[in-house]
């Protein structure tokens, strides 16, 4: 472990740490553009200059390129180093436009920060600035090449880290161009990371263009709800509109990046016509009145049919608290069925997958990135969990052997493919995996004995589970589940003997349903009524519901999702609910009456809706949903690494401690 001194502070760091990282470890910031923790060094920008006062290397050096060594004495404040960094900024600003006031990156621009920090304010060079022609890169990313400072981060991410081939660097010397070989939408499913990784405004988020400055945003640490991996994000909102989503670093999960689905799928939250108004038989009422109506109708229903005829339906897309409260409501009412999954196969396979994972066996994305052998069974990663494909690529880049067990497409994906073929979208949608692999016919053909850190990645499919159960467990397991809280629902289903909705309906006993954030993919049998449905998205349940209870989206509340590896992660409220100001047409505009609350804001998280309903039905005030086996999650903070849970069979799920 090299020991060195940086700005009079003694530092000891692991072998291979650079001087820049050593300084960061004791909170000494050194400016940097081309260096990035996930991409490593390039030595391209020269802005990380420090002065080596003593030791094996002397003089002004690039701290990102220099490995820390014993006896080094480093100064980041030496006049020569400061002057070098100042000069680099001035050289970069020779060609960079002075357009901060009209640049969408303004306020969150590293170049702007360093320019101001370095004191560069007067332009001495009076020549013409270099200019480029921009490209159309699709509907998500705006291109402004004149702002480029040639740090090469974009191309290093796009090609090396993410495996994209349609974007690169062209030209030479002072006329390099970062773009596509021909204009058109970027093909990589990770292209949105260019926005985060560019240290200035060459790539900006077109979907949020000119809508807000960094300091205008409401933002909070959150978790992506668009697949089961639980990648960490920072959603950013203004005026009750979710404007953009950026990646949040979590080394155990997504590292520094997110996929384009997680970044750009914001429209569904902002849809003016999403359920925002409580309705009783189609008539607008307040949320309180709607809850009163549910309580009254439930009383009538129970008297007429008895509790066994009632099904309470939760869902893998609802947070853990909501699903725990659904189980409590079922218990309180003595309802005949509690359902977390729609389909019997899905319920069985997700439960079996969760039961196979223990804290030691379940592989995080970090484990996948560090694996030396990976087998893919019964899953289509780019379709079902794109960031897992990116993690596999990192392992492959480090020399891991990747194997595909045939057939590799899960049932879910096959359905998706059929739909895409029917819509004529198949060719454009199916993208090649960003790593090389070999085909084998079964897990028994894998050279598992030669691997030190093998990982098997499976879809929660019959073929995947069969394959995994038939081999000795020397590898870690990662299952790709269906929904951000599928693992949590599988555990709750086991604890509370839940059944799939299809099974409950097939019994012929169920006459009434109350659903919470659940999707309905089937026709309900004749005589089955949806007494009430709570959701923030329009679904088959909300369309059929006698009482519609509008719920908050995940960005409008605090909650917990348990991801595919059993990692509980808290997400925080980002924005207040209500109709976004932008996009209101005269038809959609609410009545122009004075009120203390925003139109469309009479909504609540599903967990709170259930608690309010139970109170109306005579239950004492409902305490914290996280009780009993879930109590250990009460102190879980948003923004950390999360807490990995252990699924045990039988017995209650117990937090096993941070991993």
**Nearer Cβ to ligand FES, position 74 or 532?**
74
Q: Which of 358, 357, 318, 321 is nearest to 340 (CA)?
A: 318
Beta pairing class for 567-571 and 559-562: antiparallel
Please calculate the CA angle 160-163-167 and round it to the nearest 5 degrees. Answer: 85
Q: How far is the CB of 30 from ligand FES (least distance, A)?
A: 8
Give the C-alpha separation, 399 to 249, whole Å: 24
Q: Which of 607, 629, 611, 609 is nearest to 321 (CA)?
A: 607
Element (H, E) at 494: helix 486-496
Element (H, E) at 562: strand 559-562
**Rounded to 10 degrees, what is the CA torsion of 429, 434, 439, 442?**
-90
Is residue 372 within 8 Å of 454, Cβ to Cβ? Answer: yes
Give the C-alpha separation, 201 to 197, whole Å: 10
Is residue 7 within 8 Å of 58, Cβ to Cβ? Answer: no
**With b meaning 16 or more CB within 10 Å and e meaning fewer, what string describes 102-125?**
ebbbeebbbbbebbeebebeeeee
From residue 275, give the alpha-carbon distance in Å to each of 226, 324, 368, 640: 19, 23, 39, 32
Give the C-alpha separation, 254 to 236, whole Å: 19
From residue 337, give the alpha-carbon distance in Å to each of 221, 314, 332, 506: 35, 11, 12, 12
Give the C-alpha separation, 372 to 370, whole Å: 7
Give the C-alpha separation, 562 to 487, whole Å: 6
Give the C-alpha separation, 562 to 591, whole Å: 40
Is residue 563 within 8 Å of 232, Cβ to Cβ? Answer: no
Strand segments (E) across 139-257: 141-143, 167-172, 175-180, 203-205, 218-219, 222-223, 232-238, 241-247
Question: At 559, phi and psi to the nearest 5?
Answer: -170, -170
Q: Show contacts with ligand FES in window 5-44 (CB under 6 A).
A: 32-35, 43-44
Q: Show contacts with ligand FES in window 40-99 (CB under 6 A).
A: 43-48, 62, 64
**Nearer Cβ to ligand FES, position 44 or 176?**
44
- DSSP state at residue 578: S
Which pair of tokens denotes residue 199? Answer: 């240290």
Q: Show contacts with ligand FES in window 350-379 (CB under 6 A).
A: none
438 forms beta bridges with 403
* Residue entry with tokens 């569904």: 268
Size of the site for ligand FES (CB under 6 A): 12
Q: How many helices (H) and strands (E) does the chain have?
A: 20, 29
Is residue 4 within 8 Å of 68, Cβ to Cβ? Answer: yes
**Nearer Cβ to ligand FES, position 48 or 560?**
48
Inter-axis angle of helices 110-118 and 79-95, to 10 degrees? 130
Residues near ligand FES (CB under 6 A) are 32-35, 43-48, 62, 64
């Amino acid at each position: 472990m090299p020991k060195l001194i940086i700005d009079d502070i003694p530092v000891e760091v692991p072998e291979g740490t650079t001087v820049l990282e050593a300084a960061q470890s004791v909170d000494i910031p050194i400016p940097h553009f081309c260096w990035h923790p996930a991409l490593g060094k390039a030595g391209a920008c020269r802005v990380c200059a420090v002065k080596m006062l003593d030791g094996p290397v002397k003089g002004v050096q690039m701290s990102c390129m220099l490995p820390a060594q014993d006896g080094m004495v480093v100064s980041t404040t030496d006049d020569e180093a400061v002057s070098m960094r100042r000069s680099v900024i001035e050289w970069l600003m020779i060609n960079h436009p002075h357009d901060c006031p009209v640049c969408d990156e303004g306020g969150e621009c590293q170049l702007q920060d360093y320019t101001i920090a370095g004191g560069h304010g007067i332009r001495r060079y009076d020549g013409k600035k270099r200019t480029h022609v921009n490209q159309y890169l699709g509907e998500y990313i705006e291109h402004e090449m004149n702002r480029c400072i040639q740090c090469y981060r974009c191309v290093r991410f796009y090609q090396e880290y993410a495996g994209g081939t349609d974007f690169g660097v062209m030209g030479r010397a002072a006329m390099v161009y970062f773009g596509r070989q021909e204009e058109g939408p970027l093909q990589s499913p990770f292209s949105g990371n260019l926005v985060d990784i560019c240290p200035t405004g060459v790539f900006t988020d077109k979907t949020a263009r000119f809508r807000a400055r960094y300091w205008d945003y409401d933002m909070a640490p959150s978790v992506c709800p668009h697949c089961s991996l639980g990648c960490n994000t920072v959603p950013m909102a203004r005026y009750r509109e979710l404007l953009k989503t950026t990646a949040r670093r979590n080394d155990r999960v997504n590292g520094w990046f997110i996929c384009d689905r997680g970044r750009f799928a914001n429209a569904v939250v902002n849809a003016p016509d999403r359920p925002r108004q409580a309705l009783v038989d189609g008539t607008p009422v307040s949320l309180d009145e709607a809850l009163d109506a549910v309580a009254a109708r439930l009383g009538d229903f129970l008297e007429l049919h008895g509790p066994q005829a009632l099904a309470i339906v939760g869902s893998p897309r609802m947070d853990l608290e909501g699903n725990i409260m659904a189980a409590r409501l079922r218990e309180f009412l003595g309802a005949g069925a509690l359902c977390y999954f729609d389909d019997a196969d899905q319920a069985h396979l997700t439960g079996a997958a969760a039961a196979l994972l223990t804290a030691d066996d379940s592989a995080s994305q970090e484990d996948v990135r560090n694996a030396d052998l990976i087998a893919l069974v019964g899953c289509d990663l780019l379709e079902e969990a794109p960031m897992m494909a990116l993690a596999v690529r990192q392992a492959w880049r480090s020399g891991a052997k990747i194997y595909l067990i045939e057939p590799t497409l899960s049932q879910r994906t096959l359905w998706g493919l059929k739909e895409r073929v029917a819509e004529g979208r198949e060719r454009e949608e199916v993208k090649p995996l960003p790593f090389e692999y070999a085909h084998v016919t079964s897990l028994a053909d894998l050279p598992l004995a030669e691997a030190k850190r093998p990982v098997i990645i499976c879809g929660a499919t019959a073929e995947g589970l069969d394959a995994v159960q038939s081999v000795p467990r020397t590898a870690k397991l990662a299952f790709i589940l269906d929904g951000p809280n599928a693992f949590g629902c599988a555990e709750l289903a086991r604890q509370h003997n839940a059944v799939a909705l299809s099974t409950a309906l097939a019994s012929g006993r169920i006459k009434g349903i109350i659903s919470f954030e659940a999707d309905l993919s089937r026709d309900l049998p004749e005589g089955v009524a949806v007494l009430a449905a709570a959701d923030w998205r329009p679904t088959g349940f909300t369309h059929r519901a006698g009482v519609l209870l509008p719920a908050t989206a995940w960005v409008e509340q605090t909650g917990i999702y348990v991801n595919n590896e059993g990692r509980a992660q808290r997400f925080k409220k980002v924005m207040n609910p209500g109709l976004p100001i932008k996009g209101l047409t005269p038809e959609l505009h609410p009545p122009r009456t004075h009120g203390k609350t925003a139109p469309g804001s009479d909504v609540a998280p599903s967990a709170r809706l259930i608690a309010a309903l139970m109170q109306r039905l005579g239950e004492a005030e409902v305490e914290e949903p996280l009780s009993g086996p879930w109590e250990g999650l009460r102190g879980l903070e948003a923004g950390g690494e999360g807490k990995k849970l252990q699924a045990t069979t039988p017995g209650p799920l117990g937090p096993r401690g941070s991993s």
